[in-house]
Every structure is written in structure tokens, then in C-alpha cells.
Chains A and B, each alone.
Chain A
Amino acid sequence: MYSDKVLDHFSNPRNVGEIPDADGVGTVGNAKCGDIMRMYLKVDDSGIITDVKFKTFGCGAAIATSSMATEMVKGKTLKEALKLTNAAVAEALDGLPPVKMHCSLLAEEAVKAAVEDYMKKHPEAVID
């Protein structure tokens, strides 16, 4: 039911962990539903995401989409990160089973929550 890419990102997740001095942290989902994703961002002065890490409680698809989302925003500008869509995450994983599409949405929301947290902590930053 899962593509090889999903299984690869599930068994060897990229960028898993925490960034202790992160510039932005976003947590989405809830334990009751069985999925929680937390994204940590490190952002440089020019608004580029230089490092990103995640921690996820959830199923195989939740872990794989978190991993893929971190790869997709690493090295990108905050503006580019905000444009990340769940469809793009799912596509990059060669698709997800229909019942797992909400996991990719959670990954998109986790990235956005982390960027918003950064913006709150850095009101001087402008996303043009």
C-alpha cells in the first residue's frame, strides 16, 4: 500500500531530531488522533532556512511526510517554504494511499506553523 519512497523515508527518515536553539518551532496535530508533528527551523539573516529537523508521533505516512517536507524546505527561503503544499509532499513520495493524505496536510501545516513561529519571534523579518 505504501510506495518504495514512503517506506524509504519511513525507515531512514532524514533530518530527524531537534534544534536546541531553533529560530522557529511549530507543532501540529494531536495525540488523540494519533499524529503529532513538530518542526524546528534555523533561519539565516537573508531568510534562508539553513537547517530543519523534525520529531513525529504517528504512522508510517506521518513519519515519511515529515521527512520529505524537511528535505523540500531545507535551503529554501521562508517565502518558498510557505508555498509548500501537501499535494507536492505526497507527489514527491510517489503518492500516498487516500486515507493517508491527511498526513501530508499535517506536514504542510507543521512547516507553516514553524515559519509563523519564526515570524512572531522576528517581527522585523519581511517575507516579500
Chain B
Amino acid sequence: MNRIYMDNAATTAVSRQVLDKMLPYFTDVYGNASSIHGTGRDARKALEEARRQVASVLNCKPQEIYFTSGGSESDNWAIKGTAFANRRKGGHIITSAIEHHAVLHTCQWLEKQGFTVTYLPVDEYGQVDPRDVEAAITDKTILISVMAANNEIGTIQPIREIARIARAHQVYFHTDAVQAMGAIPMDVQEIGCDMLSLSAHKFHGPKGVGALYIRQGVRIDNFMHGGAQERGKRATTENIPGIVGLAEALKLATQDLEEKSARIAALRDQLIDGLTAIPYTRLNGHRTNRLPNNCNISIRFVEGEALLLRLDLAGIAASSGSACTSGSLDPSHVLLAIGLPHEIAHGSLRFSLSDATTQEEVDTVLRTLPGIVETLRSMSPLYADFMEAQK
């Protein structure tokens, strides 16, 4: 069976070009970048070249790039690191209700350590209102963290405006760009953020490696103790193959970004139009102000995991925000925050495309899903009751 992969927001395939670039660093250039000998120096050279490459994409200095184990670590470090380093100034943090759990759970943990956190609401499309950010700032606020784009519904946040507000109030601004990186332009000078998280496996790089941009001068605690790596801030022998892979993947992902995004967005729009043509469905997130590769819909009277299983049996990989896939009793916090009732949030599906997505794949999904919805609705008591009430 030909498998169709439309879960690129979960993770992506490592591109062949990235893998080829990484391989020599497992077997040939395997040195410890801290060693003084030639094998170590070669590894160090690759590390610093990767750092320069990432810095050039983000438009910052190489010494402002810190490699980490991934997006979650970058988020944890940015938030905990600035929270504890600036505690004397105050203990207040502002974030949004629809952040990734790497941000939300970190903030909830900080609340247990005595910090206070404001979780800003979002509108029906998942957008944070910059005026709400400004109104939430107090003389105790030390950090604002708002994602560049949402991982579930794809909504792009007004991070430039939020950054301006943060700077005017001398508050640090961190943005989780894990989903946005490689999908939309990310220039830290133009955005005006103080910290930015990214993760390689979201843009055809390897898993287990990410980066945190920290603007020079930001007061932040060291994250990992026990070595001089990453300017003493993040100990551990550097994952050179992973870091080389991250840099190469980032370079490739941001080449001809506009052209690629436009092509992917055209396929996304076909999916959105075709799938929302199924009766009693809705699009989640903003129609235009969204990531080019994200299509998230809610299908009434059916449950998300059942949809996913049926799609999987048809060879199509997608994801859902239903409780049954989140491992808890509640559906996705993002879908609830945009105001969806529980029963509609349970029936959500996310299709996330990549540069490799083809027209044929989109056509197959558009042909397959309506039949699956019909079958599941035919066995749904909710649908039967609804149709009965319509009579």
C-alpha cells in the first residue's frame, strides 16, 4: 500500500541531502569538539560552521546560537533560565493559553516555585491580541513567551507587535518557533525577539537536536552544568552529526522559502476547501493567517481517533486533538481555547503537508475522507439524533 504522510507537524523525514551531510560525523570526524588533537579540531570546525550557518539564517551573531536536544529543551531553558536569573526584578510571566505543553507545563511548574503566570486568552481563530499582552504587563513582569505559530491549528501570532511592546516595557520576549521555522521567514532582528526556540526534526533534520537563540546581554541561568560546552551554558559533549544535520536542514528549508510555501499553501487550500465541503465540518484556526502546511478541521458527530484509524487503514497518516489521542479525558487545550465545545473538539483532524506532498496525495485524501465520515456517522447515535431533530 502506498502510504500518504500528512503528519509533518508531528515530525518530518530526514532529507537525503541532510543525511549524507551527517554521516561522516559518525565514523570519520567522530572527535570530541573539546579535544585538542586534530580529530577533535575537525569536529570543532564543523560545530562552529553549523553555528555560523544557523546564525546567518536567523540573522544574528553565531555566539547567540546555543544547540540543545530539541524544541522542548529550548523552551524549558528559555523560560526557567530567565525566570530564575531575573527573580529579583519580579516573578511574573506572561504567555498564551494555546502554547505547546513544553511552554505551558514549564510555566505551571514555575507557579509551584512561587512565580505567577498570566495565560492570555485567544480569539476564535487562536490569535493573541497584543493589547492584552500590554495590559497584562506589571512592574513585576520579567518574561513574555508567545509562539510564532501554533502547532495544532497553524495560526500565526503577531509576534513582531508583541516584541515591540515587550521591548518598550523592558521585558524579555521569547518565541517558540518550532512549527514556524522552515515554514515562514524568521529573522530575529526583524521580529525583535530576545529568545527563539527551534527543532531540527520539524524541517527535515534529525530528531534529538534543536537550538535556542539568546540575544547577547539577556540574563539567563545556565541550563546544564558540568562542562564548558556552549559557552558554559549547556554542558554535554556536542552532538556533532545532529548539529551538522540541523544546520543543513535549516539551510535547505529556508532556500526559496516563498516559492515553496506558495506551492504548499495551494495544496493546503484545496484540502481546506474540499474537506470543509463535507456537511457539518469547520476549519479550525485562521483561514489565511496560518502556516502554509496546516489544515485542521472539526467533523461533527464523529470522534477523532476513529477517523485516524480509518484513515490509517486507508494508508493515510494524520493526527487529531481528541482526548483519545491526547492520553487524557479532555480534548486539545488549543481547540478548547478557541471556544470549541468538547464534543466538536473530539472530532478534529490535522493534516500537515510538506514540500514532498503531491497533488495526487491531496486528491486521494479528498476522495477517501468523505466515505470514512459517512461510515462513522452512520453508526453515530449523535448523528442519528441530530438528523431526527432536523426533520
Which residues of A are at the interface with B, using a C-beta cutoff of 8 A? 2, 7, 10-11, 13, 16-18, 27, 31-38, 54-63, 99-100
B362 close to A (CB within 8 Å): no
- With both chains docked as a complex, state the minimum distance between the C-beta of A24 and any C-beta of chain B, in angstroms: 15
Query: What is the total of A-B residue contacts with beta carbons within 8 Å?
Result: 72
Contact of A99 among B301, B313, B327, B384 (CB under 8 A): B327
Interface centre among B302, B303, B383 (most CB of A within 10 A): B303
Residues on A with C-beta less than 8 A from B304 are 59
Contact of A55 among B305, B343, B346, B380 (CB under 8 A): B380
CB within 8 Å for A10 and B309 given contacts A32-B342, A38-B381, A59-B303: yes
Total chain B interface residues with beta-carbon distance under 8 A: 26
Residues on B with C-beta less than 8 A from A55 are 379-381, 384
Contact of B323 among A2, A10, A34 (CB under 8 A): A34
Contact with A along B296-336 (1 / 0, CB 8 A): 00000111111001100100000000111001010100000
Residues on B with C-beta less than 8 A from A38 are 381
Interface centre among B301, B309, B331, B341 (most CB of A within 10 A): B309
Interface centre among B305, B310, B379 (most CB of A within 10 A): B379
B266 close to A (CB within 8 Å): no
A16 touches B303 (CB 8 A): no
Interface centre among A2, A57, A63, A100 (most CB of B within 10 A): A57
B10 close to A (CB within 8 Å): no
Chain B residue with Cβ nearest A102: B329
Known contacts A31-B342, A55-B380; 11 additional CB pairs below 8 A are A7-B309, A16-B378, A16-B379, A31-B382, A32-B342, A36-B382, A54-B379, A55-B384, A58-B306, A59-B322, A63-B306
Which residues of B are at the interface with A, using a C-beta cutoff of 8 A? 301-306, 309-310, 313, 322-324, 327, 329, 331, 341-343, 346, 378-384
A33 touches B323 (CB 8 A): yes
Measured CA separation A34–B378 after assembly (Å)? 17
- With both chains docked as a complex, state the minimum distance between the C-beta of B243 and any C-beta of chain A, in angstroms: 34
Interface centre among A34, A61, A99 (most CB of B within 10 A): A34
Residues on A with C-beta less than 8 A from B380 are 55-57
Chain A residue with Cβ nearest B309: A60
A34 touches B381 (CB 8 A): no
- With both chains docked as a complex, state the minimum distance between the C-beta of B341 and any C-beta of chain A, in angstroms: 8
CB within 8 Å for A62 and B381 given contacts A32-B343, A33-B323, A33-B329: no
Residues on B with C-beta less than 8 A from A2 are 309
Measured CA separation A92–B322 after assembly (Å)? 26
Chain B binding surface, main DSSP class: helix
CB within 8 Å for A57 and B301 given contacts A18-B384, A36-B382: yes
Measured CA separation A27–B303 after assembly (Å)? 17
Contact of B379 among A27, A33, A63, A99 (CB under 8 A): A63
Contact of A34 among B309, B313, B322 (CB under 8 A): B322
A60 touches B305 (CB 8 A): yes
- With both chains docked as a complex, state the minimum distance between the C-beta of B306 and any C-beta of chain A, in angstroms: 6
Chain B residue with Cβ nearest A16: B379
Interface centre among B304, B305, B327 (most CB of A within 10 A): B305
B323 touches A11 (CB 8 A): no
- With both chains docked as a complex, state the minimum distance between the C-beta of B336 and any C-beta of chain A, in angstroms: 11
B382 touches A57 (CB 8 A): yes
CB within 8 Å for A59 and B343 given contacts A11-B313, A34-B322, A99-B327: no
